[in-house]
Amino acid sequence: MFLVPGLLGFENFASFRYFADRVVAALRAGLEQRWQQPVPVIAVPIPPTASLHERQRKLVKTLADRLDVIEPGQPPLQVHLVGHSTGGLDANLLTYPQPVAEAAWADLDPRAPKLRDRIRSVISIASPLQGACITRDPVARLLSQGDPRGAPGLTSLVLRFCASAAKDFELADGLNGASREAAKTLRFLREVISKWQLLADLQPSMMLDSRLLKQDVRRRSFVTVTGRAKRGEHVSPADGFFRELAHRASGRSTGCMDEGELVHASVARLNRALADDSADSLLIRAPGIELPRSLDAGHNDGVVNAARQLLDPEQPDELAGIVVADHFDVVGYYDREVWQVDDEGREQQKQKLSGLLHSGSGFRDDQFFELYQRVADVLTEPAR
């Protein structure tokens, strides 16, 4: 079982990991309970802003290298992939007939053909399977093409992010860890400040042809979209950074929101799921949180449009869940409550800010563990 990260992906950066430790623990516990045997769950690194071609090259090599290490002395393992954000797209692309920008899989890596034959499932979470409108935003064009017209927007976002992050109780630990691992930090920052080639590959006009994907692979998508507190509920609202980011991600100001028939079909699929009497079997949300009465193509998780997170809306089994959360809640970075002891020795529960985004969706431990329980259910369900 491999976890594939998205944009800015890495295995670990100082004390910070792309997939929080609780992701590995929750998923491994769920799988071992069902399969009644040890199940390695391994998060892999990937170039943070490189093109899909470079990410694919690195991903194939890493997966093959990791399998070479963990398999000696035992039968070949089946390969299951869980990808977050662009990682879900990367995982699906491994089941395409040809690699990105190469003629044959063996040209990418001699071990690639056998590796592909072992892939049994691909689970996408918050993945831009139909691209993402945020790549059309001036800030994204600044990062990917050096277009200076995005500079004011980037400045605004950075200032809003700093105001939001200043409340984060884990920020100091992260900065201390980055300073202790200065060489690794500099390498990562050099990659990040280079052109973000990946953004050009995630344009809304791009899409996978689901008819060409390997048909013997179980393929499911968990769609993320943010919600808000119902009237009278005491839930922290979205902060300024998230509101601006979500507006840019919607595509309302760049004209790409309703682009493409597949997007319209995906919006209809999500709204049918929410209107169905059995919607509770798909919906994961915190108590007191609601969604808009009807989703449109602009609704998003702060990064990716919800409707663009489906590969084929005509496949009834692909949609595995609708998670009311922001883009990074689902990899374990959400606000949570912890117990603290005051100066008089009294214990009390106190909310701590540790999410990367603060969307007001109320995503907490209960929703997190429900999500990964469902991921484990999907991975272990009997073949039809």
pLDDT band at 181 (very low <50, low <70, confident <90, very high): low
- What is the chain's mean pLDDT, rounded? 87
Taking each helix axis from N to C end, the angle separating 182-193 and 171-180, rounded to the nearest 10 degrees, works out to 100
Confidence (pLDDT) at 300: 97
Confidence (pLDDT) at 341: 75
Confidence (pLDDT) at 170: 59
For residues 58 and 81, give the distance between their C-alpha atoms in angstroms, rounded to a whole number. Answer: 15
From 299, 300, 250, 294, select the one nearest 274 (Cα to Cα).
294
For residues 362 and 236, give the distance between their C-alpha atoms in angstroms, rounded to a whole number. Answer: 8
Mean pLDDT of 363-368: 94
286 exposure class (CB count in 10 Å sphere: 0-12, 13-18, 19+):
middle
What pairing do the DSSP bridges indicate for beta strands 12-13 and 16-17? antiparallel
pLDDT band at 43 (very low <50, low <70, confident <90, very high): very high
At residue 239's C-alpha, the angle toward residues 238 and 245, to 5°, is 90
β-sheet bridge partners, residue 16 = 13
Confidence (pLDDT) at 186: 60
From 143, 5, 120, 131, select the one nearest 378 (Cα to Cα).
120
* pLDDT higher than threshold 90 for residue 103: no
Q: Are 128 and 89 in contact (CB under 8 A)?
A: yes
Q: Are 298 and 252 in contact (CB under 8 A)?
A: yes
Confidence (pLDDT) at 319: 96
For residues 373 and 185, give the distance between their C-alpha atoms in angstroms, rounded to a whole number. Answer: 34
Confidence (pLDDT) at 12: 56
For residues 91 and 128, give the distance between their C-alpha atoms in angstroms, rounded to a whole number. Answer: 12
Q: Are 152 and 248 in contact (CB under 8 A)?
A: no
What pairing do the DSSP bridges indicate for beta strands 2-4 and 42-43? parallel
Q: How many CA atoms lie within 13 A of 183 on its CB side?
A: 0
For residues 287 and 162, give the distance between their C-alpha atoms in angstroms, rounded to a whole number. Answer: 30
Mean pLDDT of 236-244: 91
Residues 302-335 pLDDT 10s: 999 999 999 999 998 999 999 999 999 999 999 8
* pLDDT higher than threshold 80 for residue 352: no
Residues 221-231 pLDDT 10s: 999 999 999 98
Lowest mean pLDDT among 131-140, 218-227, 347-356: 347-356
267 exposure class (CB count in 10 Å sphere: 0-12, 13-18, 19+):
buried
Greater confidence (271 vs 341) lies with 271
Confidence (pLDDT) at 168: 67
User: Which residue type, as a one-letter code, is found at position 30?
Assistant: G
Mean pLDDT of 89-109: 92
DSSP helix/strand/coil, 244: helix
Please state the three-class secondary structure of 72-136 as a single string. Answer: CCCCCCCEEEEEECHHHHHHHHCCCCCCCCCCCHHHHCCCHHHHHHCEEEEEEECCCECECHHHH
From 322, 318, 302, select the one nearest 133 (Cα to Cα).
302
pLDDT band at 206 (very low <50, low <70, confident <90, very high): confident
- Torsional sign, CA 112, 117, 118, 123: positive
Residues 59-75 pLDDT 10s: 999 999 999 888 776 77
Mean pLDDT of 33-48: 90
Residues 252-283 pLDDT 10s: 988 888 778 899 999 999 999 998 766 567 99
Greater confidence (16 vs 105) lies with 105
From 323, 322, 327, select the one nearest 357 (Cα to Cα).
327
What is the CATH T-level fold of the domain 2-135+198-332+359-380, as seen in this structure?
Rossmann fold (3.40.50)
For residues 344 and 306, give the distance between their C-alpha atoms in angstroms, rounded to a whole number. Answer: 47
* pLDDT higher than threshold 70 for residue 176: no
Mean pLDDT of 149-155: 93
